[in-house]
Structure 1
Amino acid sequence: MPAPVVIAIIMGLLGLIVGSFIAAVTVRLPRDEDVVFGRSHCMSCGAPLKAWHLVPVVSWLVQRGRCAMCGAAVSPRYLLIECGAAAIGVWAGLSGAEAGWIMVVATAVLGWQLLLIALIDAENFWLPDELTLPLIVTGLIAAAVIAQGWPVASLIGAAFGFGSLWALAALYRLVRKRDGLGGGDPILFAGAGAWVGWMGLPSVLLWACAAGFSVVLTLLITRRSVSGGDRLPFGTFLAIGVWLTWLYGPIGG
């Protein structure tokens, strides 16, 4: 394999392209627009964008964060998402280079999927099946390729992940008479089990709870009121937990 730095650069550049697509999906999917064949357009004037308007990072910087047709401001979120996806690519290249291309690609694919899922849930409190079900599939495929055989731990993890959160949500609904978890959370946790195996699920939950607690603590420190009825994007926290568990393994393992 090439040197880790070379791999990281290649994956980072690929991440910029993937990030541009992720940014588009985060806008189109909640609007029920075609995420594959839909034409990119300005959100202010509706004018279709040319190919040179869509070069990751460069186009936003050259156009100074404004639409080339109408001059309306373009949110920097697109730039940040592209840079975030590039960072995931670089991270995958550096962390997985010694283990080979399979680990590099698997880490990048997982990171990009989790970035999209985390953004959608954080902004819309929604975990669509179109994003969570493929996470299960890619996790099982990655586990099978890495293990070169049946991914037993991942199959058990997917089943247990779904069943445990589904049961928890049902129990909460029975006791509190209202939903405490969204319908997509058990499927996302099944995807977590497919990627990190059943042994990694406790760590995913611990990381997710730590991330959620940090958000609540931040709200309290900034003197914002927090109540039991407040909604938090638990799917975003789960995505963080999956990523950290994949990178560093189960806590205490």
Structure 2
Amino acid sequence: MINPLWGVLGAAAGAIAGSFLGTLVLRWPEGRGVAGGRSACDGCGRVLGAIDLVPVISALALRGRCRTCGAKIDPLHGWMEAGCAVIGALACGASPGLAGAGWALFGWLLLTLAVLDWRHFWLPDALTLPLAFLGLTLGLWVTDVTLADRLIGAAGGYAVLLLVAVSYRAVREREGLGLGDAKLMGALGGWFGWQALPFILLMAASLGLSVVLSGMVGGRRITAAMRVPLGTFLAVAALPGWWVLALIR
């Protein structure tokens, strides 16, 4: 049952977090700073005022455009704010207190990693490593998994995909799997334990295959050099994979 007060607080915190994370996703891969200085329109350079920076509401009121020059604002801002708000509301509303905060942080980091990998094939250590650390610490109050299973999951998840990456490089003499994917897999093992990893990996692979097949149906040509954002699919499959394990236990 959802606690309304905690749900509202979680949604507000999520919208604020999403505002920052949306800016991070857009600026970080381009080498632009995300801390310090005031936000400004990328079109005309006008410094944004408080009315322009209210999460979700400003994006809707301004219809995704700058008030001054009318330049289109990347809709990712609004989507990240809304997505993080929903995650915060569900996490804190369903699990008030420390557990809800843990679920919210997990969801916000995972959403950011999923979008970064989808857009840029990039899973930065600055996000995957804190995700792993939180799984081994705060995660103890979030999921009913022993510390031993978490440690095995973190080490095993990383090692399995690291072995795949090294083997592919040795056989094909080119990169086929980034180490960011291995670190993300290890982080998920830290949250859910080693038992959940086969289900998460199977669901991620199935999701990735479905996307590729959909592209083929749509006329997209599939080549050996085609890149697939495995990290995005791992992020999407994380919770469903854990739920499947919980159902069959």
The 1-side partners of 2:186 and 2:37 are apart by 30
Matching residue of 2:21? 22
The 2-side partners of 1:174 and 1:250 are apart by 37
The 2-side partners of 1:212 and 1:235 are apart by 10
The answer to whether the aligner puts 1:218 opposite 2:214 as a matched pair is: yes
2:190 to 184, 189, 194: 194
Deviations 1:181-213 (A, max 9, x none): 012111111111111111111111012112201
Task: Name the SS of the counterpart of 1:68 in structure 2.
Answer: coil
1:112 to 89, 92, 108: 108
Deviations 1:20-40 (A, max 9, x none): 111011012112233232432
Matching residue of 2:226? 230
Task: Name the SS of the counterpart of 1:184 in structure 2.
Answer: helix
Matching residue of 1:245? 241
The 2-side partners of 1:229 and 1:8 are apart by 44
**TM-fit CA distance, 1:144:** 3.4
**TM-fit CA distance, 1:54:** 0.8
The 1-side partners of 2:98 and 2:241 are apart by 18
**TM-fit CA distance, 1:146:** 5.0
The 1-side partners of 2:2 and 2:123 are apart by 38
The 2-side partners of 1:149 and 1:249 are apart by 12
Q: Give the paired residue count.
A: 249
Kindly tell me: are residues 150 and 178 of structure 1, through their superposed partners in 2, closer, same or farther at Cα, counting changes over 3 Å?
A: same
**TM-fit CA distance, 1:84:** 1.2
**TM-fit CA distance, 1:227:** 2.1
The 2-side partners of 1:194 and 1:188 are apart by 10
**TM-fit CA distance, 1:73:** 1.4
Matching residue of 2:11? 12
Deviations 1:62-88 (A, max 9, x none): 222211232211122211121111121
Question: For residue 64 of structure 1, what is the amino acid of its counterpart?
Answer: R
| Contact 1:42-1:48 at 8 Å conserved across structures | yes
Deviations 1:136-176 (A, max 9, x none): 11111123345899722111111111111101111111112
Deviations 1:120-146 (A, max 9, x none): 111111111111111111111123345
Kindly tell me: are residues 251 and 202 of structure 1, through their superposed partners in 2, closer, same or farther at Cα, counting changes over 3 Å?
A: farther
Matching residue of 2:54? 55
Question: Quick check: 111-120 or 32-41, which moved more?
Answer: 32-41
The 1-side partners of 2:53 and 2:118 are apart by 24
The 2-side partners of 1:6 and 1:87 are apart by 14
RMSD of aligned alpha carbons:
2.2
Task: Name the SS of the counterpart of 1:231 in structure 2.
Answer: coil
2:179 to 174, 180, 183: 183
| Contact 1:196-1:245 at 8 Å conserved across structures | no
| Contact 1:142-1:195 at 8 Å conserved across structures | no
Question: For residue 211 of structure 1, what is the amino acid of its counterpart?
Answer: L
**TM-fit CA distance, 1:14:** 1.8
Matching residue of 1:72? 71
| Contact 1:13-1:86 at 8 Å conserved across structures | yes
Kindly tell me: are residues 247 and 21 of structure 1, through their superposed partners in 2, closer, same or farther at Cα, counting changes over 3 Å?
A: farther
TM-score calculated relative to the size of structure 2: 0.91
| Contact 2:157-2:182 at 8 Å conserved across structures | yes
The 1-side partners of 2:114 and 2:64 are apart by 24
Task: Name the SS of the counterpart of 2:225 in structure 1.
Answer: coil
Kindly tell me: are residues 223 and 4 of structure 1, through their superposed partners in 2, closer, same or farther at Cα, counting changes over 3 Å?
A: same
Instruction: Give structure 1 stretches of 5+ with no counterpart.
Output: none
Instruction: Give structure 2 stretches of 5+ with no counterpart.
Output: none
Question: Quick check: 36-45 or 228-237, which moved more?
Answer: 36-45
Task: Name the SS of the counterpart of 1:65 in structure 2.
Answer: coil
Question: For residue 182 of structure 1, what is the amino acid of its counterpart?
Answer: G
Identity in percent: 39
Kindly tell me: are residues 132 and 3 of structure 1, through their superposed partners in 2, closer, same or farther at Cα, counting changes over 3 Å?
A: closer
Matching residue of 2:97? 101
